[in-house]
Homo-oligomer: A and B are copies of this chain.
Amino acid sequence: MLALVEVCHANVEAKGRLCACLKPRALGRLRAIAADSRLEVGDKIFGPGDRADHVYGLRQGAVMLQTHLTDGRRQVLSFLFPGDTFGFADSAHHCEAIALTRSSLCEIPVSALNDDPLLVNRLRHISRTWLVDTHDQTLRLGRMRAAERVTDFLSALWTRLGSPDALPLPMRWIDIADHLGLRIETVSREFSALRRLGIIGPLSHDCVLPIRDGAALIRLAPPRPPRAAANCHGGELADAS
């Protein structure tokens, strides 16, 4: 089964497709060492303190990363979708990874990743993408108001998933609230406002949000300065192939 190839086509702007840009031979090696696993809703993939000896590629479903304060306050660090690669950490993980839906992922032992220079480069690229992404989130939390956080979150996700007609939102409001530094009520109010404006439709039974006016969604999010186009085939990857 060509699982890893499927992953490659899963979504255009995934937070790192491990197998992207790999030549057939390297892809074959990767396929040989990757193990499959299936998850039910709420399953924990790893938690803080767990030994970080694998990286994970999300094939189907959705996952979130989160941390807690000891008093229970929670921050959802990010939502992961098919194609995303995660689990980067030193000896131990510092956050928790939870399946939002029934999911399937492939686990790759980090030891195996050190052998192939192409993969090492690929991983480096992915972890840099992660850093940029996290900085985006920092800006969102630090300098945007509630309505902006919601529209920016939605428009970023919409763009990342390739501007589809409907956005999968497999998480609950409370998860979005804990991601955006807001309360459930505020998230609900902002979604209601967007619905009233005709920008989004009502969330369907199967947790899919119709995007009625993507352009307006992007217009409502605070604009960032144009970013140089990141080319997956360029940069440090070139000199390794």
Which of A110, A139, A230, A236 has the most chain B CB atoms closer than 10 A to its own CB? A139
Q: Does A197 contact B (CB under 8 A)?
A: no
- The proximity string for A residues 48-80 relative to B, scoring 1 for CB distances below 8 Å and 0 otherwise, is 110000000000000000011111011101000
Query: How many copies altogether?
Result: 2
Pairwise interchain contact B127-A70, C-beta atoms closer than 8 A: no
A73, B94: Cα distance in complex, Å: 30
Taking a contact as CB atoms closer than 8 A, the residue among B131, B180, B239 that contacts A127 in the complex is B131
177-232 of chain A: CB within 8 A of chain B: 178-181, 222-225, 227-228, 230-231
Q: Does A142 contact B (CB under 8 A)?
A: yes
Q: Does A46 contact B (CB under 8 A)?
A: no
Q: Does A134 contact B (CB under 8 A)?
A: yes
Which of A68, A181, A223, A234 has the most chain B CB atoms closer than 10 A to its own CB? A181
Number of interface residues of A (CB under 8 A): 57
Which of A74, A95, A124, A143 has the most chain B CB atoms closer than 10 A to its own CB? A143
Pairwise interchain contact A90-B138, C-beta atoms closer than 8 A: no
21-45 of chain A: CB within 8 A of chain B: none
Pairwise interchain contact B143-A181, C-beta atoms closer than 8 A: yes
Taking a contact as CB atoms closer than 8 A, the residue among B49, B180, B222 that contacts A73 in the complex is B222
Pairwise interchain contact A70-B225, C-beta atoms closer than 8 A: yes
Q: Does A101 contact B (CB under 8 A)?
A: no
Residues on B with beta carbons closer than 8 Å to the beta carbon of A236? 90-91, 110, 114
Q: Does A92 contact B (CB under 8 A)?
A: yes
Interface residue ranges, A against B (CB under 8 Å): 48-49, 67-71, 73-75, 77, 88-92, 94-95, 110-111, 114, 120, 123-125, 127-132, 134-135, 137-139, 141-144, 178-181, 222-225, 227-228, 230-231, 234-236, 239-240
